[in-house]
Amino acid sequence: MSDNNELFRDITDKPPFFRNTKFWASVLLLVVGLALVFLFYKTVIQDTMSDEEVAASIQVVWHDSIWVDKKVRPDEATIVPSFTFKIKNTGGRPLQYVGFNCIFIFEESGENLTDGYVEAIKTPLPPGEVSDEIFVKGFYGYRATSKPAFIKNMANWRAVKVKIYAKTKNSGQVLLGSFPIQKKIEGIKVVYEGQEQES
Distance CA 164, CA 88 (A): 14
Average pLDDT over residues 22-49: 67
Residue 16 has φ and ψ, to the nearest 5°, of: -60, 150
Q: State residue 79 phi and psi, 5-degree precision.
A: -120, 145
Q: What is the mean pLDDT of residues 133-141?
A: 95
Strand partners, 197: 189
For residues 191 and 100, what is the distance between their CA atoms, to the nearest angstrom? Answer: 35
Q: Rounded to 5 degrees, what angle do the CA atoms 196, 138, 56 make?
A: 115
Cβ–Cβ contacts within 10 Å for residue 185, how many?
22
Q: Which superfamily does 51-198 belong to?
A: Immunoglobulins (2.60.40.10)
As a whole number, the mean pLDDT across the chain is 83
Q: Determine if the pTM surpasses 0.75.
A: no
**pLDDT reported for residue 44:** 43
The CA distance from 93 to 184, in Å, is: 37
Q: Is the pLDDT of residue 93 over 90?
A: yes
From the number of C-beta atoms within 10 Å of its C-beta (0-12, 13-18, 19+), residue 114 rates as: middle
Q: Where are the domains of the chain?
A: 2-45, 51-198
CA-CA distances (angstroms) from residue 191 to 22, 48, 148, 188? 86, 51, 12, 9
